Amino acid sequence: MSTFGSPGKLPSTRPTPPQRGSFPLDHDGECKHVMSDYLACMKKARGINDDECRNLAKAYLVCRMDRNLMARDDMKNLGFSAEAAKPPHASEPEKGVKGELRW
């Protein structure tokens, strides 16, 4: 006779950990102010990848790393390049629409 919920013996599978490992949640709200600023920026920019919002995202990750809420890593490994911090050259006019994502 079978039991409810189990059709029989199934092969067991082992869960695989995430690529970057696990990290604790911010239960004490140590970086909540930066996260709130980032979410407000995203709402203001209507989801467009704005430089101001990227800087807030970077500040949030730095806050988490400083408080041991995530493993320390280089910003280039987290999607931030050194070139993004530099302002564009004044002699080159920017092409496209402001906030447009370019792949």
- Token pair 């280089």 is found at 74
Q: What is the pLDDT of residue 85?
A: 45
pLDDT in tens, 29-56: 888 899 899 889 988 888 777 788 888 8
Tokens 């709200």 correspond to what residue? Answer: 29
> What tokens does 63 get?
């806050």
Per-residue tokens: 2: 């079978």
pLDDT on residue 23:
67
**Structural domain spans, the chain:** 32-81
Q: What is the pTM of this model?
A: 0.57
- What is the per-residue pLDDT for 13? 76
Task: Enumerate residue ranges in the chain where pLDDT < 70.
Answer: 1-8, 10, 17-23, 82-103
- Token pair for residue 85? 């911090």
According to DSSP, residue 43 is labeled H
